[in-house]
Amino acid sequence: MSYGIGILGAGVMGSDHARILASQVAGAHLVAVFDPDRARAEASAGANGARRVHARGIDLIDDPEVEAVLIASPDATHAEFVLACLARGKPVLCEKPLAASAAECLQLIEAETKLGRRLIQVGFMRRFDPFYGDLRAGLEQGGLGPVLLAHCVHRVATVPGYFQADMSITNAAVHEFDILRWLLGQEIAAVQVMRSRRKSTATLRDPLMIVLETDQGVVADVEAYMSAAYGYDIRTEVVCEEGTAELARPQPAAFRRNGSVAAAYPADWRGRFADAYRLQLQGWVNGVRSGVPAGASAWDGYLATIIADAALKSLNEGGRVAIPAATRPALYR
């Protein structure tokens, strides 16, 4: 009755998924873990009730008790593991990015299309966030009229030392690209990155102001600021013909003292998207059990990648970069 899950990767993301799966998700249990660092694989397995640690990722995928696979291994390994899951007909939740390049994404799409059924879900967890859900429901009710503009803010207090220049786009802003597509039901047609004055202590080109255009003419500006210092702050306002809709946020208690009223910001994404990660895992398990896929598809993963590629080109070369329209395969309609 309970579904058996295997997790590839026992780093920050992988072990967090393992913890959530074991302690907050109904209908599934952790069976096995793989990580090249065996000690941390065992730590994650032990803390979360998994029976086995595998020596190779492929062994975990082959494990008969593993009915579905969660991939939280390094980006370069995603495509290979996803293909192995497809070959065995096992549903897979792959952390973003779907693959290390647009070309690899297309290989996965081709394989899944041949298979003729959707087994791949990509970890754009915001689609499960109740605040985005509330915003989208409000937009769909229709009283606001067509969308004209959007304003997004993506602020991270600080990033770790290994965070490289491109990651402002491939790791952070890519969430905005995906969620705007999902919120608006439109495709991104062009992107232009404006470099602003650089934060004096930042090694990154930080912050960035990214201007997106959709295939229906909507313009959206996205602030991506990886060293915002004060906290983790995600905002979206969608501007329509008859009014605007603004994303809410988890609300902390307010404290009045020392001459002001203050409310805390979360230090990082865990304080903002904990519920989205839990609901993503529950939604994936439910989807796997019911056979009705939920969340972002391989196609969504591919589009996020080509938008990010275009944004990187604009960042590095300047100017507006158009994104050619892509034909969505029937499987993803």
> Would you state the torsion angle of the CA atoms of residues 316, 317, 319, 324, taken in this order, to the nearest 10 degrees?
-90
Instruction: Rank residues 62 and 187 by Cβ distance to a second copy and give the closer one.
Output: 187
Instruction: Rank residues 290 and 327 by Cβ distance to a second copy and give the closer one.
Output: 290
The strands making up 68-71's β-sheet, listed across from edge to edge, are 52-54, 28-34, 3-8, 68-71, 92-94, 120-122
**Which of 56, 50, 53, 63 lies closest to 17 in space, CA to CA?**
50
From the CB of 164, what's the least distance to a second copy, in Å? Answer: 20
Distance CA 152, CA 173 (A): 10
From the CB of 127, what's the least distance to a second copy, in Å? Answer: 16
Q: Please, what sign has the CA dihedral across residues 101, 279, 49, 60? A: negative
From the CB of 61, what's the least distance to a second copy, in Å? Answer: 23
From the CB of 260, what's the least distance to a second copy, in Å? Answer: 4
> Over the range 166-196, which residues count as b (16 or more CB within 10 Å of their CB) and which as e?
ebbbbbbbbbbbbbbbbbbebbbbbbbbeee
Distance CA 214, CA 92 (A): 30
SS3 state at 192: strand
Instruction: Rank residues 36 and 231 by Cβ distance to a second copy and give the closer one.
Output: 231
Instruction: Rank residues 177 and 299 by Cβ distance to a second copy and give the closer one.
Output: 177
Instruction: Rank residues 48 and 73 by Cβ distance to a second copy and give the closer one.
Output: 48
From the CB of 169, what's the least distance to a second copy, in Å? Answer: 16
From the CB of 219, what's the least distance to a second copy, in Å? Answer: 4
Instruction: Rank residues 124 and 131 by Cβ distance to a second copy and give the closer one.
Output: 131
